[in-house]
Amino acid sequence: MIFAHRGLSGRFPENTMLAFEAARKAGVHGIELDVQLSKDGELVIIHDEKINRTTDGTGFIRDFKYKDIVQFDAGSWFNTEFNHARIPRLEEVFQWAKEENNELVINVELKNDVFRYDGMEEKVLTLIEQYDLRDRIILSSFNPESVKRIRTLDNEINTGYLILGIHANAIKVARNIGADAIHCQKEFVQSIHGIQAIENKIPLRTYTINRWSDAQSLLNQGVEVVMTDFCDEFVSNYQ
């Protein structure tokens, strides 16, 4: 499957409703997005712990209440034509996911490997249940303890253990924490550890692949998901 990494982020400001809707219209199979917690406990969609790179503000996301976060311009950094874009809440994405003609899989990455964000797992699971999206959600994190906690709280929801580079113990850790898949870079897929994972029928979901030739090779090798910033191009080639 082809997933849109932070939405159609090669052409729209990442992790915004604009990028997600553009990905849906492009015909992608799923989207990937990042979740953090605001000061007042709202689940907000942003990749970096600081808002500096993708908004006109400065500071850590956890130091702002959502009523202040929503005031920041989350689009002009990409292109001034997107100056109306804002940082969305996860609930907004789930509301959008329930609209007609939207059947996308949603990979929610919990960005809790720098700041722990106590209670994030429970909040996300509660929202998933509220919107009856269990069958369309993948929860992933670089924090193995978070993935383990998700599995403790819910023994059925699809999970992914995120890794960087070639992680020799990835298969062992993934099994120990109850992860359904390993989310990895192409270097891992092509390593002996990635080959072993595929041979043992452990799904691999790869990020961030922006050349179709690489995607084609990885899909042929047996990966389950390729995540890309340019899902429109990939969907066209995939079909």
Whether 139 contacts 158, CB under 8 Å: yes
Tell me the C-alpha distance between 137 and 180, whole Å.
Answer: 12
Task: Give the closest residue to 205 by CA, choosing from 216, 217, 219.
Answer: 219
Told to judge if 183 belongs to the known catalytic residues of this protein, a careful annotator would answer: no
183 bridge partner residues = 162, 205
Q: Are strands 30-37 and 43-45 parallel, antiparallel or unpaired?
A: antiparallel
Q: Which of 5, 167, 183, 193 is catalytic?
A: 5
Cα distances (Å, whole numbers) of residue 158 to 155, 193, 210 = 9, 22, 25
Active site residue 5: yes
Q: Which residues are catalytic?
A: 5, 47
